[in-house]
A and B are shown apart, each in its own frame.
Chain A
Amino acid sequence: SQQGEEDPQALSIQEGENATMNCSYKTSINNLQWYRQNSGRGLVHLILIRSNEREKHSGRLRVTLDTSKKSSSLLITASRAADTASYFCATDSNYQLIWGAGTKLIIKP
């Protein structure tokens, strides 16, 4: 069954604005990962946050994790056209990553 579920399914914003995507999951986790996929290509790892961490930063990316609500958010600040992509969260289960269906982000120039 699907573990991670992203929200919204699609998001369209103006260049320069901030973009926030959310991920909810069902069972307890050891870590949660965020990946980006440009159209029709492979996924690229963005950030891994462990269950004992609440927030993590990488450049313009900020990830939060709330284990009590079983949710995570990915914030992209000062968005650029190159940020147009699909974003996926993945949670761990039994040595495997369980993926959500992704949020499609479009940055309008």
Chain B
Amino acid sequence: ETGVTQTPRHLVMGMTNKKSLKCEQHLGHNAMYWYKQSAKKPLELMFVYSLEERVENNSVPSRFSPECPNSSHLFLHLHTLQPEDSALYLCASSQFRGSRNEQFFGPGTRLTVL
């Protein structure tokens, strides 16, 4: 396995629920990422954390709230989601922030919003 774990693997939630996605990397990396993958669309970068500091927020709605308590853990807090937010949410890490580094991905959380 890649050393990046995500829980839960599947999540079904109603539009009024609050839930959190968790990501953990065991690779000693300094950068972590949240991506959204919808069917037949390119991966969309949501957030980037470098050394626990958020460095990118790609115009993501406020109903998605990231948290990075330390360099190994990353959370995505979900609140009042819409059906169009249903997608595969992927967490990734790399040794350093930047496009010169390969990214290591977790298996993803398949989210369904009813």
Contacts and interface: CB of A to CB of B under 8 A. Distances in A.
A45 interface: yes
Given A88-B43, A101-B42, A43 B100 contact: no
Nearest to B90: A42
Contact of B104 (A31, A45, A95): A45
Interface residues of A, number: 25
Given A2-B42, A97-B45, A100-B42, A45 B103 contact: yes
A41 B41 contact: no
A83 interface: no
Nearest to B91: A42
Nearest to B101: A48
A30 B99 contact: yes
Counting chain B CB atoms within 10 Å of each CB, which of A2, A31, A95 scores highest? Answer: A95
Contacts of A28: none
Main secondary structure of the interface of B (DSSP, over half): loop
Interface string A68-109: 000000000000000000001011110111111110000000
A44 B105 CA distance: 7
Interface residues of B, number: 25
B2 interface: yes
A33 interface: yes
B97 A95 contact: yes
Nearest to B88: A40
A4 B42 CA distance: 9
A92 B45 contact: no
Interface of B: 2, 4, 6, 40-43, 45, 48, 56, 88, 90, 92, 97-100, 102-108, 110
Given A42-B107, A43-B43, A44-B2, 19 more contacts: A4-B42, A30-B99, A31-B99, A40-B108, A42-B92, A42-B105, A42-B108, A43-B105, A44-B105, A45-B102, A45-B103, A48-B102, A90-B99, A91-B99, A95-B56, A96-B45, A96-B99, A99-B43, A101-B41
